[in-house]
Amino acid sequence: MAQEQGVQEIDRNHGSGGPPALPLPSRPEPLVKDRPLPRHLSLARPSVGLTAAMGAWIGSMGRMLVSGFIVRQQREVPLSLRERTEITQLRAENRRLREKLQALERQKSD
């Protein structure tokens, strides 16, 4: 009678409308060994799951913190044709201005 009342209470609380829910047995199943599965037979791979995600996050945070303090050398990238042309023009202009400045200094000293 008490168990029947418990089943009705569980069914009323969950409102399934189907057959009454039965409480889970409190004793372990007699035909199943009660021990954890070996790691290679577990249901989740070691590289998957919450623990693996947390480990990956912690590792990435450590790498991110360390990478912020590393001085990186920028690799040399070949200049584009436009940049090379611009540099050549600027060097020519610089040369002309230096020659003009030297000519003005010579006139001033004479």
How confident is the prediction along the chain (110 residues), in pLDDT tens digits per residue? 555 555 555 555 555 556 556 776 677 777 777 777 777 776 666 677 788 888 888 888 878 877 777 777 776 778 889 999 999 999 999 999 999 999 999 999 88
For the chain, the domain total comes to 1
Q: Does 62 fall in a domain? A: no
Q: Does 90 fall in a domain? A: yes
Q: Which domain holds residue 90?
A: 81-110
Give pLDDT, residue 46. Answer: 67
Considering the entire predicted model, what is its pTM? 0.31
Q: Does 110 fall in a domain? A: yes
With beta carbons less than 8 A apart as the criterion, state whether 46 and 52 touch: yes
Give pLDDT, residue 4. Answer: 58
Q: Does 96 fall in a domain? A: yes
